[in-house]
């Protein structure tokens, strides 16, 4: 049940509890209780809307940044990650395996704004050794959703 609710909500968080209940063949009270429980446990951490900002004609610049850092004694990478993810410009921050340590996603209004943020804030943090900034040129797919792909039902309206 929990798994099924999450599966549906992940695709469409606007669905009503009533409709969820019908879809899962159960009653509204059960659905409400299950969702509340998952919210309290922090399994569900929030509800967001997927937006193609380009279409909304809002200019948004996204950069994926590889950050190499010196881990700190006793705290590893957590402390420096915490320093970094506090900035509102940072929309994602993960510890990575491989050639660099932290993967940081930064959003801004212009390329200059993002570049300045990296140069002035990110790169100047003590334990940061280097940064490598990659600007996103075009998004094809994000969060399982394909952008700019008109879905037209081309099936014959009646077959046999």
Chain contacts with another protein (rule: CB under 8 A): 4, 7-8, 19, 22-25, 153, 155-160
| Closer Cβ to another protein, 56 or 158, answer by number | 158
Shortest distance in whole angstroms from residue 22 CB to another protein: 5
Between 137 and 158, CB nearer to another protein: 158
Looking at the Cβ atoms of 126 and 153, the one nearer to another protein is 153
CB of 135 to another protein, least distance (A): 29
- Shortest Å distance, C-beta 28 to another protein: 12
CA distance 31 to 28: 5
Give the pairing type, strands 102-108 and 61-69.
antiparallel
Give the contacts of 147 (CB within 8 A, at least 6 positions apart): 52, 139, 140, 141
Tokens of 111: 């390329």
Rounded Cα gap, residues 20 and 138, in angstroms: 34
Q: Which is nearer to another protein, 56 or 157 (CB)?
A: 157
């Amino acid at each position: 049940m929990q798994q099924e609710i999450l599966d549906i909500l992940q695709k469409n968080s606007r669905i009503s509890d009533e409709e969820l209940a019908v879809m899962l063949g159960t009653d509204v009270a059960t659905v409400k209780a299950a969702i509340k429980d998952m919210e309290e446990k922090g399994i569900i951490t929030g509800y967001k809307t997927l937006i193609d900002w380009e279409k909304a004609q809002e200019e948004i610049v996204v950069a994926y940044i590889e950050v190499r850092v010196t881990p700190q004694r006793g705290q590893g990478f957590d402390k420096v990650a915490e320093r970094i993810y506090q900035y509102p410009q940072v929309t994602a921050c993960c510890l990575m395996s491989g050639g660099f340590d932290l993967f940081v996603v930064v959003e801004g209004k212009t390329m200059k704004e993002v570049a300045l943020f990296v140069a002035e804030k990110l790169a100047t943090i003590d334990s940061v050794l280097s940064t490598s900034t990659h600007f996103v040129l075009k998004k094809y797919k994000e969060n399982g959703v394909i952008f700019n792909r008109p879905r037209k039902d081309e099936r014959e309206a009646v077959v046999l």
